[in-house]
Amino acid sequence: MAATIIDGKAVSKQIKAELKEKVEVLKKKGIIPGLAAVLVGDNPASATYVRSKAKACEKVGIYSEVIKHPATLSEKELINIIQELNGRENIDGILVQSPLPKHIDEPAMTLLIDPKKDVDGFHPFNVGMLLIGQPTYQSCTPYGIMELLKRYDIDPEGKEVVILGRSNIVGKPMGAMMVQKARGANATVTIAHSRTKNLPDVCRRADILIAAIGQPEFVKSDWIREGVVIIDVGMNRVDDASSEKGYRLCGDVDFKNCEPKASFITPVPGGVGPMTIAMLLTNTVRSAERRLTAK
């Protein structure tokens, strides 16, 4: 029996429609949510991602400001930009697009962002609040995964969740969200990584498998149990002579062979990816709502 495809595009569209209504309410009360993205250098992937964020903001009604600088921007100049954005009342969210040039201390720049405007959810203050189960801005990709599970009525409570990957962006915050004593969580969590022994055996324990390791089609069908829920965070480009572009996009899971065994599965593209921006906008609108209550 074929798996149910978890449609991230459809869910993100629904979330954006909900946010648009919230933005209209805020505007009637004199608040326009604002998101500033700082782009340093000419990384093509970063530029594309920032453009996507700006377009999404426009559709929802969020004020978007993209601040571009060449890779020669000094660390001191970037510090001044972040501090200026921290102080601006019309900016509710700040993101400094990664990666930064090597001469800039990226963790130090993250620390400079006001935690109340850290809509990426990367500031250690917000990471700490997430870990102890307090309201905070949650890292957007795992936050999007939690929202997908919720909207497809997949309850992790009591389930074995295996997360492949221990990055600060996905793996670690994902584990923190899943293990919380809260509705939509309460899972038993294993975070597996490059040093995990007997990895296929670990994966076969999973009721919910979340793959975020950046290895194309790494997870094979004999690694999973029947009925598993598969969330594929990977976005890999592989050569494909049959494609007009000369390549195709795939996830970290061998979709073709794993899909028949799964109960639910996210496609690549169109699964987790669209949710990341949707949750970034969600955090920005939430920040604007806090600005309203602080008045």
- List the catalytic residues: 53, 97, 120
Query: How far apart, in Å, are the Cα atoms of 281 and each of 173, 201, 274?
Result: 18, 38, 11
Region of 138 on the Ramachandran plot (φ > 0 left; ψ -120 to 50 alpha; else beta): beta
Query: How far apart, in Å, are the Cα atoms of 93 and each of 47, 177, 226?
Result: 18, 22, 42
The per-residue DSSP string of 240-275 comes to: -TTSTTSEEEE-SB-HHHHTTT-SEE--TTTSSHHH
Q: 3-state class of 136 per DSSP? A: coil
- Cβ contacts of residue 112 below 8 Å, gap of 6+? 79, 82, 83, 86
